Structure 1
């Protein structure tokens, strides 16, 4: 599986959404799915990960360091499980997963080169809770190669 380790997202059309399992990215996921349905196009779920952010593989003993392949698989499974729970029946929606071992901004900006729309939450897991816009969202707004929709919470 080492040859399947993805470090760059390459897509051709559709709606791309940044997902990191945070509440903000879950709202972005739902908005992106609605947008993909409206446009009758594919939804690309982009999840960037590092050793610091990846869920630990469930079948790995506590005192053992999992392989990069095991982490990749754990992130893939975690993402698919959460997306299924958030979107429910996706019979009318084609979803493609892009699990990328890369910093989030690079993965999303790479996806934006082929996307018709990039959807991101206003802020993800890191940073300061009081910020109006997280650093990843800000980089996407400034540097994306396609239009960007920043999803804010319903307050």
Structure 2
């Protein structure tokens, strides 16, 4: 019998919105309870590349700037000690596709209930709805006002 277990992998979508910040806090708390590791994933789209979705990151800066902002946001939300427990990853593509792909092999995917999308995103369905339908693992959708303590 194999007694070695890999730490549970928790993937969390981060886009700068209040609900994604709450989702990040929830994922870190959950990881602490189950001895897991957290991977914070942000999708980065090039303007005009995906005409039906708003960029997850402001289109006026480049990939290096987007990665810096992701790291900065994780530190702002969790503090230095909490951020040290999180692996940040910036992936180019549509947020729902990126998160579904990132969740391959994960124990859980955590997303906020409302991100930075606007009316155009509502026409196609939200990222949280898309990942709930297509993720290869359980999905936790966290509301921005959800208690995390």
Q: Which residue of 1 aligns with 2:136?
A: 145
Q: Identify if the C-alpha distance between structure 1 residues 37 and 102 changes in structure 2 by more than 3 Å, giving closer, same or farther.
A: same
Q: What is the root-mean-square deviation in Å for CA atoms of aligned residues? A: 2.2
Equivalence map 1:11-90=2 (5 Å):
13-52=8-47, 53=55, 54-55=57-58, 56-57=60-61, 71-90=62-81
TM-score by length of 2: 0.76
Q: Which residue of 2 aligns with 1:63?
A: none
Question: How many residue pairs were aligned?
Answer: 127
Q: Which residue of 2 aligns with 1:109?
A: 100
TM-score by length of 1: 0.73
Q: Which residue of 2 aligns with 1:64?
A: none
Q: What SS does the aligned partner of 2:31 have?
A: helix
* 5+ residue gaps, structure 1: 1-11, 58-70
Q: What SS does the aligned partner of 2:144 have?
A: coil
Q: Identify if the C-alpha distance between structure 1 residues 48 and 89 changes in structure 2 by more than 3 Å, giving closer, same or farther.
A: same
* 5+ residue gaps, structure 2: 1-6, 48-54
